[in-house]
Amino acid sequence: MKHTAQLADGRDLFYFDDADTALGPERRVDARVLDPRPVTATMRQDVLTGDWITVAAARQNRVFLPPADQDPLAPQTPANPSEIPDVYDVAVFENRSPSFGPALASDADDPPRGLDDLADLGLGRTRTSVGRCEVVCFSPEHEGSFGTQTESRARTVIEAWADRTAALSAMPGIEQVFPFENRGEAIGVTLPHPHGQIYAYPYVTPRTTRMLDAADRLGSGMFEDILQFERASERVVLTGEHWTAYVPFAARWPIEVHLVPHRHVPDFAATDEEQRAELAPLYLRLLRGIDALYDSPTPYIAAWHQAPVNVGRQAVRLHLQLTSPRRAVDRLKYLAGSEAAMGAWVGDIPPETAAANIRKAIESV
């Protein structure tokens, strides 16, 4: 069940209830008095690469590791004027300090918002960072991650991802929708509350552009070919009827796992009942296995790659890319000269060794 509301400054808020929820249908109104929303950030073009860099100064003011009684993602209390007015199972709301938006491509017709020429190159080019950024709260609890949720709750989050992917994809100027979870202070997380985010970009991201280029060279069946290649290898760590997880042949990170559906779907909105039903327990098992590699929780980025809204729908398959810089119990991989400056990666652990370690950890949970 989905309930739609608004926050005090006009931002959208959506409640998604578990199938076995104990909550009623009513939700309290957000009665806070809030400052106006920040103006939409500006993108600047790097003429050497063609990449667009968003400069979002308002993000400097976001909350940093607050105590539990001031958690901005917990349900509001008289002592904690948080972002969510009432109790919830899963809640999704517009980010107060977004990298993209709140303006959309149709909100005004001044020249900086024009997006038709993003592929052109030139010195000093700027555009308004139209789009949308949303926060997805997996639980009202102060600490945790996706992997600490129940199977019912995991399924609710998947339904929220599908709902928001469809809605964001239909907004003017949106070219790609990206759900993700950052987990752990080593990744730069500033809130321990179990949550993820969804970015809706006004362009096709650089990584996806490279995928599309590869599909042009290898054919639209590229992801099916990759899946069959990996499923025949010793790098598979977990498999089901509809999904397979594996360490990729050319993994960059000490821990890197891809989770791919067997049937081609471009995004969460296109997944069917069987795929969603299996994904909830399978994804939980994978994340809990990643945590079991060491005696403390593993920092990671869980990136759900989806096809662009308007191009490459048959070429780019929905898939998870889960990465962690943790290369030993007390060591992290830092991106130094070769990786950070030149994009020339050096792997620390053979993918086959990493896969064996992850399979053993998954079997232990």
**What 8-state DSSP symbol labels residue 322?**
E
Under a CB-based contact definition with an 8 Å cutoff, are residues 361 and 293 in contact? yes
What span, in angstroms and rounded, lies between the C-alpha atoms of 346 and 42?
Answer: 34
The answer to whether the peptide bond before residue 299 is cis (omega within 30 degrees of 0) is no
350 CA to centre of own chain: 26
Under a CB-based contact definition with an 8 Å cutoff, are residues 269 and 217 in contact? no
**CA-to-CA separations, 163 to 1, 31, 48, 216, 363, in angstroms, rounded:** 11, 27, 37, 30, 33
Rounding to the nearest 10 degrees, give the CA dihedral for residues 227, 233, 234, 235. -30
| Residues 6+ positions from 120 with CB-CB distance below 8 Å | none
191 Rama class: left (phi>0) / alpha (psi -120 to 50) / beta: beta
| Residues 6+ positions from 150 with CB-CB distance below 8 Å | none
Under a CB-based contact definition with an 8 Å cutoff, are residues 210 and 311 in contact? no
Structure tokens at 351: 């993918």
Under a CB-based contact definition with an 8 Å cutoff, are residues 173 and 26 in contact? no
Please list the active-site residues.
195
